[in-house]
A and B are shown apart, each in its own frame.
Chain A
Amino acid sequence: MNCNEATSLMSAFTDGETDRARTHSIERHLRTCPQCAEAHRSLLALRTRLRAEVPYFPAPQALRTRIAERLEHQASSSPVDRAATSGRWRWLTAGALGGCAATVLAWMIGTSLLQWRANEDLALEAVQMHVRATLNHHLIDIASSDQHTVKPWLSARLDYSPPVQDFTADGFALVGGRLDYFDRQPVATLVYRYREHTIDVFVRPESARAPPSSLRTVRGFNVAHATGSGMDWLAVSDVNTEGLSAFVQKLAQRKLP
């Protein structure tokens, strides 16, 4: 065996992945060639360093807990469980990191996954509503790009007054609003257009304690959530996840005029 052959096999040899005949000839070659022997030592040194210095990331406990809950839910998806969690918006954090950032920000705005158990239904419901509205061409009850037209129209039909803003300057143009029946209560839906995409934003009063925000994908649609200005904001669209969660956070963050 010459140096070229030995070099091309050195990495596999170091992994013990060369066949017996080749292993034997490389070993013989290494005894006579100091350069290749050095290359071999250096690969072994690299391995030692990789194992000593490169961190291994075991699954965080929070992730394990969520998966365990998911399994339990799957095993016994009882109606009692659903009754207990519906009626409220229960968004939970996807990780401690989100929690930290949210605490620091106090706005409780960030992006993470929806808590599976209670919210898979909710995200699915939001997506279904969005799809239904799109298919029926019933996107808009009140068509207007004027926030001062849309807001009073919605307020007159709900027991709360959703903040309505136009973000045409940022590429998200308000095109109107409609009423939906979502999670067992009437809810204001703001409709925005971003390039060719329609975005539905469900707005309702913030529930109980301000939860961290969430993001998930249901059947190809992205669902993003944020809390702010006293409201829970849930956006559904085929806009990419970054764009959508940035937008929903902007909506939530904006102070009331």
Chain B
Amino acid sequence: MSNENRFRTLVLPHLDAAHNLARWLTRDADDAEDVVQDACVRALRYVETLRGGEAKSWFLTIVRRAFYDWYRSNRPQEIARDAGAAIDTAVDDAAIGPEQAALLHADSQALADAVAKLPLGYREVLVLREMEELSYKEIARIADIPIGTVMSRLARARALLQCSPLLRAIGEERSGARS
């Protein structure tokens, strides 16, 4: 089978997942397309090395790398913010005021906004888990981190969402139970 055909049969079925991941990482429609196109070029180049069963996580790994390359050259100022300390402390760095939160939490945009505002390291594992329903093992492979880190980042991402000012609705649903 030619490389193009391998790409068509093995990789293309996961284009939606690739785009969704790129879209949540870049948070921009045009940038997401750029990242996916770059990932496709790379995937086509290496598709020979791909074994069938793991096509999705293989492709998503490439998408994620393409994103980080894009990120380094296009958003260098954001890297410092996402790296290191920020990952443990940051909640919403564009801190949303209470009145904005009140406005937002009424509509279902609120949760999407809160996800978009998660620090990158949390956002990527959350998207892979909740939208692609990948196992911790697959996520660990794609994000290039130990399984234990996948576990702790997901727990933290969820905790951040639950206490996000955007999402008081969830807190209220819990009828006073504190996390």
Residues of A with Cβ closer than 8 Å to B?
A: 8, 10-12, 15, 17, 35, 38-39, 41-43, 45-47, 49-60, 63-64, 66-67, 70-71, 74-75, 94-95, 97-98, 111-113, 116, 217, 240-242
Residues of B with Cβ closer than 8 Å to A?
A: 2-4, 7-8, 12, 15-16, 18-20, 23-24, 29-30, 32-34, 36-37, 40-41, 44, 73-74, 108, 110-112, 115, 126, 129-131, 135-136, 151, 154-155, 158, 161-162, 170, 173-174, 177, 179
Contacts A38-B177, A54-B111; is A241 near B74 (CB within 8 Å)? Answer: yes
The 24 sampled A-B contact pairs (Cβ below 8 Å) are: A8-B155, A11-B155, A12-B154, A12-B155, A17-B151, A41-B174, A42-B170, A42-B174, A42-B179, A50-B115, A52-B108, A53-B111, A53-B112, A56-B16, A57-B20, A57-B23, A58-B20, A59-B15, A59-B36, A60-B29, A64-B15, A70-B44, A97-B30, A116-B37
Q: Cβ of A15 and Cβ of B2 under 8 Å apart?
A: no
CB-nearest residue of chain A to B69? A217
Q: How far is the CA of A146 from the CA of B69 in the complex (A)?
A: 39
Q: Cβ of B37 and Cβ of A67 under 8 Å apart?
A: yes
Contacts A94-B33, A113-B37; is A15 near B136 (CB within 8 Å)? Answer: yes
Of B16, B44, B126, B151, which contacts A74 at CB under 8 A?
B44
Of A39, A63, A66, A70, which contacts B19 at CB under 8 A?
A63
Chain A residues whose C-beta falls within 8 Å of the C-beta of B177 in the assembled complex: 35, 38-39, 42
Q: Cβ of A43 and Cβ of B158 under 8 Å apart?
A: yes
Q: How far is the CA of A42 from the CA of B176 in the complex (A)?
A: 11
